[in-house]
Amino acid sequence: MLNQERFCGELNKNGVSFFTGVPDSYLNGFCNYILKNVPNDRNIIAANEGNAIGIASGHYFATEEIPLVYMQNSGIGNTVNPIASLVDENVYAVPMLLLIGWRGQPGTGDWAQHELQGEITTKLLEVMHIPYAVLEDDDDAAALAVRKAVEEARKSRKPYGLIAPKGVMAGEKGNNKDDIYPMSREQAIEVILDHMPKDTIYSATTGRATRELFFLRERRGEGKECDFLNVGSMGHASSVALGIAISKPERKVVCLDGDSAAMMHMGAMTMVSKIKAPNFIHVVLNNGAHESVGGQPSAGHLIDFTSIAAACGYATVGKAAENEYELIDALKQLQYSDKAGFIDVRIHKGLSGKLPPLDFSHREAIDNLINELNRKEDK
């Protein structure tokens, strides 16, 4: 792993001291270093990667300082529009560094949801005419790469990519457990399983929610045919759930979302204002953190999800559920509402270390769900 103090020192020496982006496990060492050592107004954890490109652009316009945007390579897709139509050298010509964690790097082995993304990472940069360097686990080489990247970005007034393979920017995730709220994510999911109809369809968001739902089913001796595990495409689990709910109005559909995932594409919440889906309940398991990638803080505990949801057209109980009893009461009230329901479930941070990696056949899982949703008795 690179010496993060030296790496960030090299950035500073070259005039890069403003950071924004979305945390990534492959960049965990870097993200945690700047979280501890950079003032909050110089390290903005963004809602999504496109949001970060916009913030970085505004910073450059206001200061002429080159910013750095950090992300997992899965987030490149969120940046394509602002890079192509805002940052491009033929539009507003914004220089910036893009620090990208390279999940699914060819030849290294990774989960299925990262394979294609890993394969096309460098190709996407090339298509957008962004030069790049692949960082080595060598402090001297990394320092040279930083100097070249800043020089090229400044001279050409365009982005320059620094791609971090596995291990180069890694760091200890640690256990960021707190006791602000009594329930864990796993406990909250089990309460929901216990108090919704047995044939409820679940759409679980990227990260720990998918793993915890999967292994709760195994521990409880239940089938998984009613579950959609959104292992990639962060921020879209609620949209998948809504699509199912609209098409199967006789089935209860619950989205097990995360606070960071919900904020990443918060515009999706407005859909219930114009589409009637009373069988849909959107649950945000809110621990105020990007927990799966290192526990960096999100805005989850700083905003009023319930009021936002109500303004978007959801039925709510008027406040967040902060313990098991409030969650049960909210489920009872919203289960038979005449419109889609929303619950902000406040949970504490902390990962369950007992869960093994989520290794399953994606095609088999989705075919089982499709078969469940299209049984003959439903037609």
Q: What are phi and psi of 79, to 5 degrees?
A: -95, -15
Instruction: Give the count of beta carbons closer than 10 Å to the beta carbon of residue 323.
Output: 17
Looking at the DSSP assignment, which residues form a beta bridge with residue 19? 43, 68
* Dist CA 196 CA 205 (whole Å): 18
DSSP H helical segments within the chain, as ranges?
A: 4-13, 28-37, 49-63, 76-82, 112-127, 139-156, 185-195, 208-220, 237-247, 259-264, 305-312, 324-334, 362-373
- pTM of the complete model: 0.93
What CATH code is carried by the domain that includes residue 81? 3.40.50.970
Rounded to 5 degrees, what angle do the CA atoms 179, 204, 281 make? 90
Does residue 285 lie within any of the structural domains? Answer: yes
Are both 227 and 124 inside the same structural domain?
Answer: no
Reading the chain (379 residues) residue by residue, the pLDDT tens digits are 999 999 999 999 999 999 999 999 999 999 999 999 999 999 999 999 999 999 999 999 999 999 999 999 999 999 999 999 999 999 999 999 999 999 999 999 888 889 999 999 999 999 999 999 999 999 999 999 999 999 999 999 999 999 999 999 987 655 567 789 999 999 999 999 999 999 999 999 998 899 999 999 999 999 999 999 999 899 999 999 999 999 999 999 999 999 999 999 999 999 999 999 999 999 999 999 888 787 888 999 999 999 999 999 999 999 999 999 999 999 999 999 999 999 999 999 987 667 788 889 999 999 999 999 998 654 4
* Dist CA 255 CA 201 (whole Å): 8
Are both 220 and 327 inside the same structural domain?
Answer: yes
Are both 44 and 146 inside the same structural domain?
Answer: yes
CB 347 within 8 A of CB 183: yes
Q: How far is CA 3 from CA 19, 70, 142, 300, in A?
A: 18, 17, 10, 31
* Dist CA 219 CA 309 (whole Å): 33
* Dist CA 237 CA 260 (whole Å): 12
Return the axis-axis angle of helices 28-37 and 4-13, rounded to nearest 10°: 60
Q: How far is CA 196 from the centre of its chain?
A: 26
Are both 94 and 236 inside the same structural domain?
Answer: no
Give residue 319's domain range: 185-378
Are both 137 and 24 inside the same structural domain?
Answer: yes
Count of structural domains within the chain? 2
Does residue 206 lie within any of the structural domains? Answer: yes
Looking at the DSSP assignment, which residues form a beta bridge with residue 342? 282
